[in-house]
Structure 1
Amino acid sequence: KVKTYILKRRDYTQKYTDNNTITAVRAMQEYMLTPSQMETLRQIKVRSPYASKSPIFVYLERDVEKKAIEVWGSKESLERERKRVKRLEVKRRRQLHFPISQSDNGPVIKQYQGLLSSGPGRVVGYAAAANGFICLFKLGCFLSTGSASMFSETLHSMADTGNQLLLLWGINESLKEPDEQHPYGFGNMRHIMSLISGVGIFCIGCGVSVYHGIQVLLHPATSVAYFWTFSVLIGSAIIESASLAVAVKETRKNAKKYELSFWEYVSESRDPSTNVVLLEDSAAVMGVGIAAAAIALTHYTGNVLFDAVGSIVIGGLLGGVATFLVTTNANALIGRSIPPSRLEELQETLEDDAVVRGVYDVKATQLSSEEFKFKAEIDFDGREITRAYLSTVDMENMLREIHEVKTLEELEMLISRYGEHVIDTLGVHVDRIESELKKKNPDLRHIDLEVL
């Protein structure tokens, strides 16, 4: 009587961990083993999870767990050791939380050098110094004249200086390398600080300027010392124009780099820190002109209505700038898509690959002003993947192995072994495709290709 072969199927609704593997690092961290204690364990060679890396060796987790219990005596003893090591790690992290000469991601000096060497860092640093200098002179002029327009300009420069110091801090934070708690880095700190700057401009610059203008309308006061007022305004206009020129130059350079028009680059908030300086300095130059016109009309007519209206107009100008900054940076933080033309280019690159039959559900989201992540559902051509694997094996030897098969059990084992290699080949091609995409798109930080 011929014995009927029954294929042993897995119940995929049940938990199954017998084939789970673990790296040597995880084995030492989670099971408190030393390299010498793992020397007797069986190693399995697998494809590296990192592109362009050589294969790595892993262990079956069940073997590691068994060895750990053997070393520590019991599961309870192993768990006590885990807790002890965890307490020590927490204590160590607390001691390193506020280092004196070293940050979590590198020397402090090196980080600040990176801040000053970056384009946005230079632009914001120059603007902060210029606005701080101007703010002191405007404040002195307001105290001597009592002009409502000059008061608005003082608040404007004060808000700009504070905001630019916040931007400098945000740029510095964005330069940090990714860590365990922030695997995608700190790039969005620039958008966060720019958003806070927009709120600050609206509350301090816009709100107080409009309020003070209304107060002057209700309680008129006479302004004096017009010569010094105009001198300060002219000096402010020169310094603000120089700072604006630096921001415009940086924006044009970056817009050309991304092949965008000047306005498209600004509206997409690709460089939020430079955007704030660009818009603040533009408003500052216009604000100086408005203040000068309002004070001149007040001087020649003796009517403080012009001065009050000038303060209100400057407040409205700052409100418009603040609204634009809040809106663009909020959209960036929510997760804005990359331009449609670039998304189509990425999809076409995938569709042109020999092992890809179809590309679906394509999405790309900005992670920060300079990085984005990409996701797509890929229908791989199984036959092409199999051909790619077969091109690396000895076909004559494979044919001999097939002819040597005598039972269905042996056939299942042979097909399973070769099937595992085909899956590894699929992984190799996924790595290749990801590597090619990143090479063509240096700002592509993370790729998620899901197999259909």
Structure 2
Amino acid sequence: MAQSNSRFAVIAALIGNAVITVVKGATFLITGSGAMLSETIHSVADFLNQVLLLIGLVRADQAPDKRFEYGYAGERYVWALISAVGIFFLGCGVTIYHGVQSLFHPPELILGEMKWAIAALLFALVIDGIVFFLALKGEWKNAAREGRPFHQYLRKEADPAAVAVILEDGAACVGVIIALIAIMLTQITGHHYWDAIGSIGIGVLLGGIAVWLIIRNQELLVGPSIPPQTREQVVRILKNNPLVEDVIDLRSRILSIDNYRIKADLSFNSRELFKRLKKKTLAAYPEIKSEQDFELFCQNYTEDVLTMLADEIDKIEAEIQRQIPEAQHLDLEAN
């Protein structure tokens, strides 16, 4: 579900930004506005970044093979990181550079044509607003379904592709407002520096978004542990089993938003184990008449212990996966 929501959000943003890029670019050619150029660069960066996000989502869907036995889920983080770096250098870097250049070498603006810039920005605001709302709505539902506070879910558990769309289109809406203010101040005052300041403001905004996304995807590539509440839930399931005496060690890693790897070393309760085998053992005990019978008895008893442990581990794993569907790779060991 999360994967399909992310793909829908990315495709919607991709289409929206393609349309907006054409409109903003045409308007820049008409007006010569630095803020409009910054907004065009912003939209080009968003479009290219969403192409990268879509590539990541498609490649992450590949089935596991001998080369990558845990699957290709990490692909989404690789491409999302490349996307974030692209925002930083193309969106932030070029935009700020152009704004600073405009401060010292003001371009010749066609002030009479600024109404086209305002119209284009209002159109972009509507499109970006719709995409932002759709992406936000999808992740809000996911957070509510998981019973998590939205800001915490967005920070720790949401798909980076969906988060990127939310942040990029949220930033796009704010960027449009900054550009509108800059253009209107330029129109009212006749001072070109407002246009340059607007361009720099948009660049700083993109830089902040890019840094946040880079940090988030870097964490996911390194492999963080599962959320604390999920870890507590796993420990609770393990300790609620009468055969489990203690959880000696528990380690986990998020392979993707819907794929966890969990490894636990367990100490089993020997008394509880014996209780379950007592009846069968007592029934077999009178049959011991010789050393051979004793060896056979020990062999059968050992096999019964191992079989019971294996069956119980299977039941525990099934229960964990029932309550936590993301726990797709479980490794429970007797210690």
**TM-score tier (shorter):** over 0.9
Q: CA offsets, 1:88-136, max 9 Å, x none?
A: xxxxxxxxxxxxxxxxxxxxxxxxxx99x92111111111001001001
Q: CA offsets, 1:332-390, max 9 Å, x none?
A: 12111222222122112211111111112222221111221212221101232233345
Residue 446 of structure 1 corresponds to 329
- Corresponding letter in the other structure for 1:446: H
Residue 351 of structure 1 corresponds to 239
Q: Secondary structure at the match of 2:256?
A: coil
CA distance, structure 2, for counterparts of residue 389 and residue 223 of structure 1: 89
CA distance, structure 1, for counterparts of residue 136 and residue 330 of structure 2: 33
Runs of 5+ unmatched residues, structure 2: none
The 8 Å contact of residues 23 and 120 in structure 2, kept in 1 or not, is answered as: yes
- Corresponding letter in the other structure for 1:152: S
- What's the CA shift for 1:181? 1.7
Of 379, 388, 408, which aligns to 2:267? 379
Residue 16 of structure 2 corresponds to 130
CA distance, structure 2, for counterparts of residue 269 and residue 164 of structure 1: 20
- What's the CA shift for 1:394? 7.5
- What's the CA shift for 1:413? 4.2
- Corresponding letter in the other structure for 1:283: A
- What's the CA shift for 1:419? 1.4
The 8 Å contact of residues 270 and 370 in structure 1, kept in 2 or not, is answered as: no
Structure number with the higher helix fraction is 2
After TM superposition, the score normalised by the length of structure 2 is 0.94
Residue 162 of structure 1 corresponds to 48
Could you say which structure has the larger radius of gyration? 1
Give the share of equivalent positions with the same residue, in percent: 37
Give 1:9-408 correspondences, 5 Å limit.
Answer: 118-224=4-110, 225-391=113-279, 393=280, 395-396=282-283, 398-402=284-288, 404-405=289-290, 407=291
CA distance, structure 2, for counterparts of residue 327 and residue 266 of structure 1: 14
- Corresponding letter in the other structure for 1:370: D
The 8 Å contact of residues 269 and 328 in structure 1, kept in 2 or not, is answered as: no
- Corresponding letter in the other structure for 1:149: A
Q: Secondary structure at the match of 2:95?
A: helix
Q: CA RMSD in A?
A: 1.8
How many positions carry a matched residue from both structures? 333
Of 302, 307, 310, which aligns to 1:427? 310
CA distance, structure 2, for counterparts of residue 312 and residue 367 of structure 1: 38
The 8 Å contact of residues 209 and 312 in structure 1, kept in 2 or not, is answered as: yes
CA distance, structure 2, for counterparts of residue 321 and residue 451 of structure 1: 46
Q: CA offsets, 1:228-259, max 9 Å, x none?
A: 11111111111111111101111111111221
Q: CA offsets, 1:191-210, max 9 Å, x none?
A: 22221111110010000000
Q: Secondary structure at the match of 1:367?
A: strand
Q: Secondary structure at the match of 2:330?
A: strand
Q: CA offsets, 1:415-449, max 9 Å, x none?
A: 13321231222111111111111111111111122
Residue 437 of structure 1 corresponds to 320
The 8 Å contact of residues 269 and 332 in structure 1, kept in 2 or not, is answered as: no
- Corresponding letter in the other structure for 2:229: S
Q: Secondary structure at the match of 2:169?
A: helix
Of 301, 314, 317, which aligns to 1:418? 301
Change (3 A) 1:121 1:305: same
The 8 Å contact of residues 254 and 260 in structure 2, kept in 1 or not, is answered as: yes
Q: Which has the higher contact order (CA 8 A, sep 6+)?
A: 2
Q: 4+ residue runs of structure 1 moved beyond 4 angstroms?
A: none
The 8 Å contact of residues 95 and 203 in structure 2, kept in 1 or not, is answered as: yes
Q: Secondary structure at the match of 1:185?
A: coil
